[in-house]
């Protein structure tokens, strides 16, 4: 089966999820699939960084959290009819998804630009540590803001308003997340095969060699880093709608670690690896949590086995099977 046929099959399967959930009499499966689509989007953006740009970021949850906070803060000020204090102009937020979602992307993109401008001057383990440090700084910063819930975070009483969709309807919400996931995957695929993507991939192999061809590698990497941050922010905005909550816990280093685990499970060398990892991780979590509260004790050895025996994660395993 070629890649196009496989992708078409996955899209058809994705479109059928709510109907399948209804058929088996378990509508909760639609909510679980929504979570998978949201995390799949965030992990795919991390996969773009790790697998294609060669940048192992350990602070990706920070961008995810910023996206979630954008939705929560815009909701809070809108519902209280109070102006947002840190803006240079008077604005009382918005409930519109057409405002919240793009703003979540832009805010995360800009923060990623700042983090990238400083962290991309380092390499290897130093880059991992600096991205982790930035994410933890942001985590502690949000805890220190009592106006935005401090450690308790912010509850969201009203989901984003998207024209033509009712996000309180599980179907509508799922199709929004699924549609955005497909859009993000297509965008990333286009980028990876563009001249920008070629340069990003070449830089992951040998930065110095690429520089001798006149390529300002830093600028390309910075843009890739910011783009991945923006996508994580968009998925964070969707997560805030799903959980009807945003809190500093979304930015904690353990969430960044969880994203890396999902990526390793799914496979780093493929764009769909992040999505496959999110599906496997969340699926296993749901199944194992039904058996025991110590589900992580079982998930741990599964992860070790994937790393040891299925190089390239799930996608690597399947592509070897096909070849």
Partner 1 sequence: MAEQLLELEAICSGYGSIQVLFDIDLTIAPGEIVGLMGRNGMGKSTLLKTILGIVPHQQGTRRVMGKVMGNLPSHAVARAGIGYVPEGRQVFPTLNVRENLVCVEANHRGLSEPWNLDRVLDLFPRLGQRMNQLAGTLSGGEQQMLAIGRALMTNPLVMLLDEATEGLAPLMRQEVWHVLQHNLREAGQAILLVDQNPEAMLRICDRQVILNNGQVVWRGPSKMLHQEPELMERYLGLGATHS
Of the candidates 206, 294, 296, 311, which one interacts with partner 1 according to CB under 8 A?
206
In angstroms, give the least distance from the CB of 191 to partner 1.
14
Give the residue with the Cβ less far from partner 1, 124 or 214: 214
- 227-256 as b/e, with b when 16 or more CB fall inside 10 Å? bbbbbbbbbbbbbbbbbbbbbbbbbbbebb
**Residue 189 interacting with partner 1 (CB under 8 A):** no
* DSSP symbol at 165: B
Q: Are 130 and 122 in contact (CB under 8 A)?
A: yes
Q: Which H/E stretch holds residue 39?
A: helix 28-47
SS (H, E, C) 146-175: HHHCHHHCEECCCCCEECCECCCCHHHHHH
Contact window for partner 1 (CB under 8 A) among 86-94, 143-151, 215-223, 231-239: 215-223
Give the residue with the Cβ less far from partner 1, 191 or 302: 191
Give the residue with the Cβ less far from partner 1, 140 or 209: 209
Of the candidates 6, 9, 23, 211, which one interacts with partner 1 according to CB under 8 A?
211
- Note the residue count of the chain: 323
φ, ψ (nearest 5 deg) of residue 155: -90, 150
Q: Tell me the CA distances in angstroms from 58 to 161, 216, 260, 267, 320, one per residue in order.
A: 32, 24, 8, 17, 29
Of the candidates 4, 81, 208, 308, which one interacts with partner 1 according to CB under 8 A?
208
Task: Quote the CA–CA distance of 106 and 21 in Å, as a whole number.
Answer: 34
In angstroms, give the least distance from the CB of 137 to partner 1.
29
**Residue 195 interacting with partner 1 (CB under 8 A):** yes
In the chain, the N- to C-terminal Cα span, in Å, equals 10
In angstroms, give the least distance from the CB of 131 to partner 1.
23
Contact window for partner 1 (CB under 8 A) among 1-9, 42-50, 207-215, 291-299: 207-215
Of the candidates 210, 275, 279, 299, which one interacts with partner 1 according to CB under 8 A?
210
Give the residue with the Cβ less far from partner 1, 37 or 50: 50
**Residue 201 interacting with partner 1 (CB under 8 A):** yes
Task: Quote the CA–CA distance of 132 and 271 in Å, as a whole number.
Answer: 23
Q: How many chain residues bind partner 1 (CB under 8 A)?
A: 17
Task: Quote the CA–CA distance of 291 and 296 in Å, as a whole number.
Answer: 11
Of the candidates 215, 284, 288, 302, which one interacts with partner 1 according to CB under 8 A?
215
**Residue 2 interacting with partner 1 (CB under 8 A):** no
Task: Quote the CA–CA distance of 279 and 39 in Å, as a whole number.
Answer: 8
Of the candidates 27, 216, 283, 300, which one interacts with partner 1 according to CB under 8 A?
216
Residues at the site binding partner 1, with contacts judged by CB under 8 A: 195, 198-199, 201-202, 205-206, 208-217
């Amino acid at each position: 089966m070629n890649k196009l046929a496989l992708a078409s099959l996955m899209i058809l399967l994705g479109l059928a999820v709510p109907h399948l959930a209804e058929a088996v009499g378990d509508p909760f499966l639609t909510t679980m699939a929504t979570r998978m689509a949201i995390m799949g989007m965030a992990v795919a953006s991390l996969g773009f960084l790790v697998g294609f740009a060669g940048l192992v970021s350990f602070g990706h949850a920070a961008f995810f959290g910023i996206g979630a906070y954008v939705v929560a803060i815009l909701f809070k000020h809108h519902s209280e009819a109070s102006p947002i204090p840190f803006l240079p102009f008077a604005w009382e937020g918005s409930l519109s998804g057409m405002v919240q979602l793009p703003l979540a992307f832009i805010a995360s993109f800009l923060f990623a630009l700042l983090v990238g401008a400083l962290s991309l001057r380092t390499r290897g383990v130093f880059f991992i540590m600096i991205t982790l440090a930035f994410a933890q700084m942001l985590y502690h910063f949000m805890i220190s803001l009592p106006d935005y819930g401090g450690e308790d975070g912010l509850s969201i009483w009203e989901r984003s308003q998207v024209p033509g969709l009712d996000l309180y309807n599980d179907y509508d919400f799922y199709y929004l997340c699924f549609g955005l996931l497909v859009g993000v995957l297509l965008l990333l695929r286009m980028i990876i095969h563009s001249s920008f993507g070629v340069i990003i991939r070449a830089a992951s192999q040998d930065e110095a060699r690429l520089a001798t061809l006149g390529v300002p590698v830093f600028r390309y990497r910075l843009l890739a880093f910011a783009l991945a941050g923006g996508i994580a922010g968009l998925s964070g905005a969707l997560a805030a709608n799903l959980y009807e909550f945003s809190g500093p816990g979304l930015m904690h280093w353990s969430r960044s670690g969880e994203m890396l685990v999902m990526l390793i499970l799914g496979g780093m060398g493929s764009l769909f690896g992040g999505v496959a990892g999110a599906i496997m991780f969340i699926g296993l979590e749901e199944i194992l949590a039904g058996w025991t509260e110590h589900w992580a004790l079982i998930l741990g050895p599964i992860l070790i086995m994937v790393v040891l025996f299925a190089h390239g994660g799930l996608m690597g395993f399947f592509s070897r099977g096909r070849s």
